[in-house]
Amino acid sequence: MNNLNIARVLSFFSFSRRGKVYQCALVHWFSTFGREPDPDTGMWIVVPDYDRHGYRNVSVIHVDSIVRGAHLLPVFDMSKLPSSLNYTHSLDYFSAFYINKYIDPHTFELLW
């Protein structure tokens, strides 16, 4: 993926130090699943990163290091989804996601 990393922004914030304002984001990292895109879809699969205790692998990054938004599509299995599942919880519910390279030409050029 051209050495790009995928992360979910949990919060945007800023702070000042010695008169300079730093704009930051708290992010939850994702890792690629496999060494190449999925052969059926042509899209990379990513999974959320957790530490050995099951906590999210998070970092604070400068917002200038964010290149663009990514469109993540859940990787569905054969199980039935609960009727109470709301789209706002999909990043917490599913365990793997496709990076949709077909969403726009800029994403396609950037990732491949």
Q: Supply the pLDDT for residue 112.
A: 59
In a domain, 1, yes or no: no
In a domain, 99, yes or no: yes
Question: What tokens were used for 28?
Answer: 């939850």
Task: With a cut of 80, say whether residue 109 has pLDDT above it.
Answer: no
DSSP 8-state assignment for residue 103: S
Q: Which helix (H) or strand (E) holds 14?
A: strand 6-17
* CB 22 within 8 Å of CB 15: yes
The torsion of the CA quartet 107, 71, 69, 97, rounded to 10 degrees, works out to -110
In a domain, 30, yes or no: yes
In a domain, 52, yes or no: yes
Q: What is the pLDDT of residues 20-37, one digit of tens each?
A: 999 999 999 999 998 999
Task: With a cut of 90, say whether residue 10 has pLDDT above it.
Answer: yes
Q: Which domain holds residue 35?
A: 6-111
| Single-letter amino acid code for the residue at 83 | S
pTM recorded for the entire structure: 0.85
Q: Supply the pLDDT for residue 111.
A: 61
* CB 97 within 8 Å of CB 74: yes
67 pLDDT band, cuts 50/70/90, is: confident
- Contacts of 84-89 with CB under 8 Å at 24 or more apart are none
Total structural domains within the chain: 1
In a domain, 107, yes or no: yes
Q: Supply the pLDDT for residue 70.
A: 87
- Average model confidence (pLDDT) for the chain? 91
User: Counting every residue, how long is the chain?
Assistant: 112
Task: With a cut of 90, say whether residue 2 has pLDDT above it.
Answer: no
Contact partners, residue 58, CB within 8 Å, separation at least 6 = 10, 26, 27, 28, 29
